[in-house]
Structure formats: structure tokens, C-alpha cells
């Protein structure tokens, strides 16, 4: 069944939904035929457009699929049932989204749009904790919480963007303040950080950059959504040792794997491929030519690279 959308509503196009949820357009159409969900409206040109409540439900369905559930099992559940199931499956409990008092304070600031207060609080925490502890112990769990709140509809998209921009300001200042040693004198790896063209979420990349800089690595960030050929060209021009890529839950796993395979082929062994993030492609079917790390593993990974590099020079 299709309906004509009213002029007052602001639904998403099928391309918007694919970018937002990580569910491919083809999959959305298959689900529409097979499961009668989603149920898109139609714009004046007859193109599919999706009300926000359906997008919220699709986010939850995608999250459960990433946690191992089959679409046919969960897609008929209500949004409330999906939210409860997501909490149970991710170990968050049975009720609505909960957080410890400290993280809840940040979430409340975001909900009330007190972004200057949030930046001050983040900056104070950074000064007290140091960069590495700040990233692992505060920023990583807080970003997960914000993402879950957004996925369940507790945060609007613009509120999630406000959080992203506030955290980016604080993190960038901290990264720029770190002393930069030369790669030739320290034996530090040169690391190019970016995401594939389909991945527009950049906080995971920013956290990885902070961890690498804290370990003395030479970091070159291209930001998000870099075309594959540009990644290869930049890697060669900058003579990097490692290309580090971030993959969020929202990115389609097949696109992630295809992009990694093409990048590996084009690099022809000229740089190592490192990856991180919560995407299902890195958990279930990780390619042998990609080294996958959690944020907390990066210090040991860089130390291990230094040992291998020193041994290669000595031989």
C-alpha cells in the first residue's frame, strides 16, 4: 500500500534512509515486498519517501541484525518491542535506555541543547583524565550512548549532530596540542585516517586519531567519505605506513567489505590496512588482509609495528 505524503511532513528519500540506517536500497525494497515493512509514502513524482517513525524503526531493526537477529524475526515487532529487545540483546537491561550518572549528565546537556556547557564539561574531563583515558573511559561509552539514544528516537538527528560538533571541537584542540615528533627520528608510523565514500560518521575516526597521536604516531587525517582512488593517491604521496579506516554500524557491511577488497588490491601491499568500529563486517567476516583493533588495542598495535619496523631495518 502506498500513500501520498502531505506537504507538511518532512520524510526521507530512499537514499537518505540508506545513508541513515545502513540498509541498502535493494534491501528496503525486498523487505517492503516480503514483510510489508517499511511502507513508504510517495512524493508528487511517485518516488518512495519514508516517515520519520519508519526510519526510527529501521534503525532498531538494523541494530538487531548487527547483533545477530534475522530480519524476518524482528521486522514485524513494534518500535517499543524492538527497543526493549535491543536493550536485552546488547546487555543494556529490559527497560528504556539507561546510563550512569556521569554519562546521563552529558546526555541531558545534549537534550537541553546546552552545548557550551557540554564543551566546558568535556574540556574539564580531558584535563583531569588525560587524552587516552578521556577517549577510552568517557568519549567511547558516551558516543555509544548518544548513538543508542538517537537510534531509539530519544535524540533528534540535529541533537546528535550538536553532540558530534561539540566533541569534535574539544578533541581537535587536544590533538593539535599534542607534541609532534618526526617519523624519521622516532621510528613512528605514518598513519592515514579516513573512511570509505559510503561512511559519513567520523567520531570513531577522530577517537582513533587521538589514540594514535598519543602514541607518537604521525597522523594525516582526510576526514570522512574519501573516494578510494584518492585514498590510494594520498597514501602514496604521503608515503604512509598504515591506512586506518573507521566503520560505523550504519554502513552497509557488503559495501564495507567490497571497499576494503578494492583498496587492498589497489595498494598492492604498499601500506597496511587497519580498521575499527562496530560494523558487522569487522566482526563476522573480517578479511585476512585487514587488521582490526579496538581503541584500547591501538597502543599495543603501534608498539608492535615499531618492533617489526626496527627488526626490518636491522635485517
User: In this structure, are strands 242-247 and 290-292 parallel, antiparallel, or unpaired?
Assistant: unpaired
Mean pLDDT, range 145-160, rounded to an integer: 84
pLDDT in tens, 98-152: 568 889 999 999 999 999 999 999 999 999 999 999 999 999 999 989 988 887 7
Which pLDDT score is estimated for 107? 94
Q: Could you tell me the residue ranges of all domains in the chain? A: 12-89, 101-177, 183-314
CA distance 53 to 288: 39
How far is the CA of 161 from the CAs of 58, 108, 111, 136, 260, in angstroms?
Answer: 19, 15, 12, 21, 27
Confidence of residue 280 (pLDDT cuts 50, 70, 90): confident
Mean model confidence pLDDT for the chain: 88
**101-177: which CATH number, 1.10.1240, 3.30.450, 2.60.40, 1.10.8?**
1.10.1240
- pTM of the entire predicted model: 0.79
pLDDT in tens, 187-199: 889 999 999 998 9
CATH T-level fold of 12-89? Multidrug-efflux Transporter Regulator; Chain: A; Domain 2 (1.10.1660)
CA distance 169 to 172: 5
Mean pLDDT, range 241-251, rounded to an integer: 92
pLDDT in tens, 252-270: 888 899 999 999 999 999 9
Strand order in the sheet with 12-13: 12-13, 48-50, 41-42
Question: 91 vs 112, which has greater pLDDT?
Answer: 112
Comparing 9-13, 79-83, 121-125, 203-207, which segment has the lowest mean pLDDT?
9-13
CA distance 215 to 238: 20
Which pLDDT score is estimated for 91? 53
The hierarchical CATH code for the domain 183-314 is 3.40.50.280
Amino acid at each position: 500500500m502506498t500513500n501520498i505524503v502531505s506537504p507538511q511532513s518532512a520524510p526521507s528519500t530512499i537514499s537518505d534512509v540508506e545513508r541513515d540506517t545502513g540498509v541498502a536500497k535493494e534491501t528496503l525494497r525486498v523487505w517492503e515486498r516480503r514483510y510489508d515493512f517499511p511502507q513508504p509514502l510517495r512524493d508528487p513524482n511517485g518516488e518512495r519517501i519514508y516517515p520519520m517513525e519508519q526510519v526510527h524503526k529501521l534503525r532498531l531493526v538494523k541494530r538487531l541484525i548487527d547483533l545477530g537477529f534475522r530480519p524476518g524475526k524482528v521486522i514485524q515487532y513494534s518500535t517499543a518491542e524492538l527497543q526493549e529487545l535491543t536493550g536485552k540483546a546488547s546487555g543494556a537491561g529490559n527497560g528504556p535506555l539507561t546510563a550512569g550518572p556521569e554519562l546521563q549528565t552529558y546526555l541531558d546537556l545534549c537534550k537541553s541543547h546546552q552545548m557550551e556547557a557540554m564543551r566546558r564539561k568535556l574540556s574539564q574531563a580531558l584535563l583531569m583524565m588525560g587524552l587516552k583515558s578521556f577517549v577510552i573511559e568517557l568519549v567511547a561509552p558516551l558516543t555509544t550512548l548518544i548513538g543508542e539514544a538517537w537510534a531509539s528516537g530519544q535524540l533528534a538527528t540535529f541533537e546528535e549532530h550538536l553532540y558530534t560538533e561539540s566533541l569534535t571541537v574539544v578533541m581537535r584542540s587536544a590533538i593539535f596540542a599534542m607534541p609532534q615528533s618526526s617519523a624519521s627520528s622516532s621510528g613512528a608510523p605514518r598513519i592515514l585516517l579516513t573512511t570509505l565514500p559510503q561512511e559519513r560518521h567520523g567520531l570513531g575516526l577522530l577517537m582513533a586519531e587521538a589514540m594514535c597521536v598519543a602514541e607518537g604516531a604521525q597522523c594525516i587525517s582526510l576526514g570522512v567519505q574519501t573516494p578510494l582512488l584518492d585514498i590510494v593517491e594520498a597514501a602514496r604521496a604521503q608515503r604512509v605506513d598504515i591506512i586506518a579506516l573507521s566503520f560505523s554500524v550504519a554502513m552497509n557491511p557488503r559495501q564495507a567489505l567490497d571497499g576494503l577488497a578494492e583498496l587492498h588490491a589497489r595498494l598492492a601491499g604498499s601500506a597496511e590496512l587497519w580498521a575499527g568500529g562496530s560494523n558487522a563486517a569487522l566482526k563476522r567476516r573480517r578479511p585476512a588482509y585487514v587488521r582490526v583493533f579496538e581503541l584500547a588495542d591501538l597502543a599495543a598495535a603501534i608498539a608492535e609495528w615499531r618492533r617489526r619496523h626496527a627488526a626490518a631495518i636491522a635485517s
